[in-house]
């Protein structure tokens, strides 16, 4: 009985051990499965390098596309500009370049981005920037700006009126950027360096030889250059009317012809009167009479607008032909071609006096002073 009990106990122990081994095996298997699942499902699997590169490339491409699109919109918004902007005057000095011009245009509001403009210039080819004055408009299209630069600088119109003096011309020149009346007159009254066969070495200025005409000039031209251009034009006109630097005309030297022409220019009411006025001057010179011409007194006194006073008429000056005999020592204005031609070809006549009568559109000419006074009385005065 004891043996049977012992045998039964052994069998029970073996059965129990077998059950424990089976449980351990199942537990290990379950753990292995859980670990496998954890590896597969509990954590993200590592991606291949090719997949990562593709994703980065896509992001970069999208960013680049956005940048290019935005840049393109910004570029063309700047390039196209819009109409209606105010005018901007830009002076390009000698030695300036396109980069500095871009900065200037940006600061002046012609363009809204110097950088974009520089890019535009590089995309559209080489340009040679010439010094001078340019007229732009605020916010105008880059294509128009490009064409203006390509076409070169603009010129300023300088119109000199027959009969003007150097002082009046100086006031006009002073309106040109970088010029002043004071500097212009200083240059004009120093004849050294000027070239003209009609300019005597004794002259104190170039008065009379600055031909009245329309010129197109650059602000970068010096006063001397502006004057020499007008003097060259005078030389051309003088030659055309037959005034030779070595000739003698009605007893006058070429420079004296210019002096008389400058007086004729101021005294004659119309071009048709010029040859008759020239004849009166020549007749009075031949008779040894003082010219007694108001225009010379105005030049001597600087009184160009108010009525002349007795004090003006008595002013001691070689230009005042009321007190000084003969011709003034130099021209009193800039004569036209018509005035020069009138002196070279004066009318025939014995007149010694002339006056603009009241109600008349031209001068009246007389042989005697008494005739002139009678005509003034009959006309009710002078014009």
pLDDT (tens digit per residue) in 261-308: 999 999 999 999 999 999 999 999 999 999 999 999 999 999 999 999
Q: Please, is 106 exposed, middle or buried when counting C-beta atoms within 10 Å of its C-beta (0-12, 13-18, 19+)?
A: middle
Please report whether residue 9 resides in a domain: no
Residues 146, 258 within the same domain? no
Please report whether residue 208 resides in a domain: yes
Please report whether residue 22 resides in a domain: no
Please report whether residue 371 resides in a domain: no
When pLDDT is cut at 50, 70 and 90, the band that residue 8 belongs to is: very low
**Helix axis angle, 254-267 relative to 294-301, nearest 10°?**
100
When pLDDT is cut at 50, 70 and 90, the band that residue 1 belongs to is: very low
- When divided into structural domains, the chain yields a total of 2
Average pLDDT over the chain reads 86
Compute the distance between CA of residue 156 and CA of residue 176 in angstroms, rounded to an integer.
8
Residues 238, 103 within the same domain? no
- Token pair 């070279």 in the structure block, residue: 344
Residue-number span of the structural domain to which 197 is assigned: 166-351
Residues 244, 281 within the same domain? yes
Residues 201, 282 within the same domain? yes
Which CATH number fits the domain that encloses residue 111?
3.30.1490.480
Instruction: Tell me what pLDDT residue 126 has.
Output: 81
Residues 253, 142 within the same domain? no
Instruction: Tell me what pLDDT residue 2 has.
Output: 46
Compute the distance between CA of residue 320 and CA of residue 316 in angstroms, rounded to an integer.
7
When pLDDT is cut at 50, 70 and 90, the band that residue 372 belongs to is: very high
Mean pLDDT of 335-356: 98
Handedness of CA 169, 172, 178, 182 (dihedral sign): positive
Residues 92, 229 within the same domain? no
In three-state secondary structure terms, 183 is: helix
Dig out the tokens for 58 from the structure.
Answer: 């896509």
Residues 148/136, Cβ–Cβ less than 8 Å: yes
∠127-222-93 over CA atoms, to 5°? 30
Compute the distance between CA of residue 282 and CA of residue 251 in angstroms, rounded to an integer.
9
Domain boundary among 127, 151, 175: 151
Please report whether residue 374 resides in a domain: no
Residues 133, 209 within the same domain? no
Instruction: Tell me what pLDDT residue 172 has.
Output: 97
When pLDDT is cut at 50, 70 and 90, the band that residue 12 belongs to is: very low
- Token pair 């210019």 in the structure block, residue: 258
Residue 30 reports pLDDT greater than 60: no
Residues 250, 280 within the same domain? yes
Residues 227, 261 within the same domain? yes
State pLDDT tens for residues 161-199: 999 999 999 999 999 988 999 999 999 998 989 999 999
Taking each continuous run of H as one helix and of E as one strand, the counts in the chain are: 14, 6
Residues 133, 173 within the same domain? no
Residues 269/355, Cβ–Cβ less than 8 Å: no
Residue 311 reports pLDDT greater than 80: yes
Percent of the residues in the chain that have a pLDDT greater than 70, as a whole number: 78
Residue 357 reports pLDDT greater than 70: yes
Domain boundary among 92, 127, 151: 151
Residue 148 reports pLDDT greater than 70: yes
Please report whether residue 364 resides in a domain: no
Residues 145, 178 within the same domain? no
Instruction: Tell me what pLDDT residue 3 has.
Output: 47
| CA dist list (Å): 242 to 91, 258, 279, 285 | 41, 13, 18, 23
Please report whether residue 100 resides in a domain: yes
Instruction: Tell me what pLDDT residue 52 has.
Output: 62
Residues 114, 183 within the same domain? no
- Round the CA-based radius of gyration of the chain to a whole number and report it: 49
Please report whether residue 126 resides in a domain: yes
Mean pLDDT of 97-107: 95
When pLDDT is cut at 50, 70 and 90, the band that residue 37 belongs to is: very low
């Amino acid at each position: 009985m004891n043996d049977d009990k012992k045998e039964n106990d052994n069998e029970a122990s073996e059965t129990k051990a077998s059950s424990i081994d089976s449980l351990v095996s199942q537990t290990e298997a379950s753990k292995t499965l859980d670990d496998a699942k954890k590896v597969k499902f509990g954590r993200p699997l590592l991606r291949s390098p090719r997949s990562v590169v593709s994703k980065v490339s896509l992001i970069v491409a999208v960013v680049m596309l956005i940048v290019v699109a935005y840049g393109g919109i910004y570029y063309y918004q700047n390039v196209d500009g819009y109409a209606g902007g105010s005018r901007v005057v830009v002076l390009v000095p000698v030695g300036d370049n396109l980069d500095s011009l871009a900065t200037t245009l940006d600061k002046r509001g012609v363009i809204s981005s110097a950088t974009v403009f520089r890019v535009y210039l590089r995309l559209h080819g080489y340009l040679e920037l010439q010094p001078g004055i340019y007229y732009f408009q605020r916010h105008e299209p880059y294509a128009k700006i490009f064409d203006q630069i390509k076409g070169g600088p603009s010129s300023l119109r300088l119109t000199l009126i027959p009969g003007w003096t150097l002082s009046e011309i100086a006031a006009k020149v002073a309106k040109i950027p970088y010029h002043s009346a004071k500097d212009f007159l200083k240059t004009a009254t120093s004849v050294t360096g000027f070239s003209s066969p009609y300019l005597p070495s004794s002259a104190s200025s170039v008065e009379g030889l600055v031909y009245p005409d329309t010129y197109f000039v650059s602000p970068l031209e010096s006063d001397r250059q502006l004057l020499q251009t007008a003097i060259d034009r005078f030389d051309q006109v003088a030659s055309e009317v037959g005034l030779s630097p070595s000739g003698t005309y009605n007893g006058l030297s070429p420079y004296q012809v210019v002096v008389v022409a400058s007086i004729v220019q101021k005294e004659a009411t119309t071009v048709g009167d010029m040859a008759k006025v020239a004849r009166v001057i020549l007749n009075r010179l031949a008779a040894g009479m003082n010219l007694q011409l108001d225009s010379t007194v105005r030049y001597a006194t600087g009184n160009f607008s108010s009525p002349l006073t007795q004090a003006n008429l008595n002013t001691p000056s070689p230009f005042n032909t009321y007190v000084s005999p003969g011709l003034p020592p130099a021209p009193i204005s800039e004569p036209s071609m018509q005035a020069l031609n009138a002196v070279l070809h004066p009318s025939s006549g014995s007149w010694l006096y002339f006056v603009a009568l009241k109600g008349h559109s031209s001068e009246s000419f007389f042989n005697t002073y008494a005739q002139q006074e009678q005509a003034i009385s009959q006309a009710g005065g002078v014009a």
